[in-house]
Amino acid sequence: MDQLVITKAKELLEKTDGKICKHCFGRKLSPLMREENDNVKIAENVLEALQTDLGSDECVVCGNIFEKVDDYLFGRVYNKIDHLGVEFDVFMVGTTIPKEIKERDDELSNELDLNSEPIKKELNRIISDELSKTLGKTVNSLKQDIVVNVDIRKKPKVRLQLNPIYIEGKYNKLIRGIPQTKWPCSKCKGKGCEACNGTGKQYLESVEELLSEKILEATRGYEAKFHGAGREDIDVLMLGSGRPFVLEIKEPRIRKIDLEKLEKEINQANKGKTQYHNLKFTEKNRKGEIKQSSPDTFKVYNALVKCSGAFDEKKLEELSKLDEINQQTPIRVLRRRADKIRLKHVKNVETNIIDDTTFEMIVKTEGGLYIKELISGDEGRTHPNVGEILGVDAVCKQLDVLEVSEK
């Protein structure tokens, strides 16, 4: 056996007066014996080489904390999983130990100049290996369905962290008057009052809720959070191929659901109001990606424009030249957006005259440009704008989103 191992082992026994368990003894020496990954076996091999053994005194490093990893602890884990009815394939374990044990462990490693693995890492490994063998599940510290949190500071306690699932798709909104996400009552802020009939909601339905209700039921999830690639106003339709979104289901007890079947059921229930397409499972990073706007992303709108007086048809043709738009945060969204000027671009404009004061405008723009304000000017906060080009006051009477590019 390597002389350095023998030397460090003797120092370790002297430092602890032999009051150290095999887990901690082997763990401290493990960086010097990388051919073996079982800390107890490392301890036994070194003790055999030293022709000595450890006493039965309490370990001065961990306080015999490894003895708490017993049938009682595993029983608590299995009972918790069964009680919640949790479905999972991949998991990891996290442990909480007394602060003073960690401090003693770190202090001893520093004194002996040993780069030993932390106690928690060995505890996690021992518990994970047993659970994996018994349950037939996979351990993965990078990506998992659930985290088994074990608190062994006193009598072992077990808590399960159920990681979210993410579902990606597109939606169409076919009627006006439905917000994208749940809208709390403006008077009670969601608590429920006479004005909202105790619902806590400003509007009874939303694109989010019409989708999430059945998915929450199928997954037995705690709540849903909707992440859209932008949002249309409540009075605007979302047509074409739909707007991309990610639905986050928090604390799902069931993870394996038939999305194709659910999509059909949801669309049948919401026929004529909302429709959802191409539902599929996705990763957490997608909820951020679909929200990112860039010069390559675009949206296409169909706007019905009404003017205060007759417009000049030649000036209407000038709308096709619209390009750079300096748009200060619209007045109507100032309460929730920072007040600053944003440079946006119009990519294409087509018009169709209805009468001498009304026309239809198909406009393709960079993401993030407010169309209603592009038309009205928003008291000079958007420049150039349709009204100033035509020389008349102009307002958007009706707006539909025809296309939202995918990120």
- Going from the C-alpha of 8 to that of each of 13, 93, 106, 110, 133, the distances in angstroms are 9, 31, 16, 13, 34
> Residues 212-238, buried b or exposed e (16+ Cβ, 10 A)?
bebbbebbbbeebbbbbbbbbbeebbb
CATH pick for 298-404 out of 2.40.40.20, 3.30.70.3190, 3.30.70.3460, 3.40.50.300: 3.30.70.3190
d(CA 368, CA 344): 7
Q: Does domain 65-163 fall into CATH 3.90.550.10?
A: no
89 included as an active-site residue: no
For 74-190, strand residue ranges (E) read 90-96, 138-139, 146-151, 157-162, 165-173
d(CA 166, CA 163): 10
d(CA 40, CA 61): 15
> Same CATH fold, 298-404 and 165-289?
yes
Find tokens 């659930």 and name the residue. 146
Residues 6+ apart with CB under 8 A from 219: 165, 249, 252, 253, 254, 255, 257
The fold adopted by the segment(s) 165-289 is Alpha-Beta Plaits (3.30.70)
Find tokens 């015999």 and name the residue. 64
d(CA 403, CA 299): 5
Give the residue ranges of DSSP H helices in 136-251.
Answer: 207-219
- Full-model pTM: 0.88
Given the residues 71, 129, 233, 235, select the one marked as catalytic: 233
Tokens of 85: 């009815």
Q: Domain locations in the chain?
A: 1-61, 65-163, 165-289, 298-404
- Identify whether the C-beta of residue 227 lies closer than 8 Å to the C-beta of residue 290: yes
d(CA 97, CA 123): 10
Question: Is residue 123 helix, strand or coil?
Answer: helix
Per-residue pLDDT of the chain (407 residues), as tens digits, is 789 989 999 999 999 999 999 999 999 999 888 777 889 999 999 999 998 888 888 999 999 999 999 999 999 999 999 999 999 999 999 999 999 999 999 999 999 998 898 999 999 999 999 999 999 999 999 999 999 999 999 889 999 999 999 999 999 999 999 999 998 888 898 888 988 888 888 889 999 999 999 999 999 999 999 999 989 999 999 999 999 999 999 999 999 999 999 999 999 999 999 999 999 999 999 998 988 766 678 999 999 999 999 999 999 999 999 999 999 999 999 988 899 999 999 999 999 999 999 999 999 999 889 999 999 999 999 999 999 999 999 999 999 999 998 76
